[in-house]
Structures are given as structure tokens and as C-alpha cells.
Amino acid sequence: MKFSADALLFDSDETIVSSIKSVFRCWSQWADAHGLTIAEIMEVQPHGRPAAAIVADLLPADEVAPALALLEQAEVDDAIAGGVVPIPGSQELLASLPVDRWAVVTSGTRRVADARLAAAGVRATHVITVDDITHHKPDPEPFLVAAERLGVDPQRCVAFEDAPAGLASARAAGMATVAITTTHDASALDADVVISDLSAVTTCATDAGVELTIAV
């Protein structure tokens, strides 16, 4: 399958970087410290949601800020310690793109996103985090902000996502979507095309934008 775009937008966790083991370690430790279980965390459908929204569902309001700070530091430390690796094909794909033709759009905080991308060997000039927006995925705002930062028409972007909330966000922004089956079965992912990882994607940058070829 082929796409022509002005820019490519990528979710971070389980799209560019594999952080699932790190996430499990950090959330398990956090749950223990707050008298919770992983099962209770999973009940609030955490994947693709900002940590602040998840923690707010689990703890009293006056406990949220310190609990978030504890979790964020644990996730940064785990990434620095080597708990994050690149998704197959991500380093090669991103290295093939001009820096003004792609951005990362994540529901993580700036500190966590920067730590994980660095740990995976990814250098991103444009990173949109939960700290940059008012409404998070599945609202279209994160992807619309990314398109604005790059100075491109949202309808000329292709978004890469692994979670239903992220795909819904990109669709609502008017973008073509590519789903990656790192966290969900293909049947749960509503996208223009579904792939297993970024090794299926090749690009050719031109003066007019980016030409994509996706092996399906």
C-alpha cells in the first residue's frame, strides 16, 4: 500500500519504543506503594491514557500529585537503566526522514517521553506530550498540535498508533492511520492499514513531502 503525505506522526510507546516491560515494572512498584494491584489498574483501561488520568481514577484528589511524581521518576529511572528498546524498524525509518517531516505524539509526560526516546536511540526534534495539550487522546488535539508545529495540513499527515484511543484521535484530526499490533489484535484496531511493526514501512522524502510504501 502506498501513501503520499506532508508529514508522519508517531505515537511513542509500543509504536517507536518498546516500553511495556518498563511500564509493568514501574506500575507494579507504584501499585504496591499505594495498596493497589495491577488488576485494579487494568480496570481503568490504562493503555493510551495519560498517567494523570489513570491515577486520578484510582486515588483521592489530594494524593494524585505526589503519586504522579513518584511514578514519573520511576519511569525515567527505568528508561535510563536500559528498560526501553526500539520497536523493530523504528530507528531505520525515522533516520530516513527529514526532521521537519515527522513528530512524536505521546500521552506521556515530557520527562518520560524524552527518557524513553533517548534510551531507544531515537532523536526527535518535534515531540508533543501531554504537557503540551489540554485534551488528550482520543480527542484530536494532540495530532492537530503536531501538524501545526510542523506547519502542515492535518489531512496530509499519516499517523502511526498502537492503541484504539490514539487511532480515534488521529482519525478525528482527519489523518490517514496505520495501526501497529504491538498491544492489540488487528480486529481491535480501526485503521487504514494494520502492520506488526515499522519494519514494514519504507519512505522516500521529496521536496513535496514523503512517499510511503507499506508491506501488508
Q: Which residues are catalytic?
A: 11, 13
What CA–CA distance (Å, rounded) separates 145 from 140? 9
Cell 526516546: give the residue. Answer: 117
3-class state of residue 157 by DSSP: strand
- H or E element, residue 177: strand 176-180
Contact 192, 170 (CB under 8 A): no
Peptide bond into 138 cis (omega under 30): yes
Q: Longest Cα pair distance anywhere in the chain, in angstroms? A: 55
- Helix axis angle for 61-80 and 51-58, nearest 10°, is 140
What CA–CA distance (Å, rounded) separates 126 from 105? 9
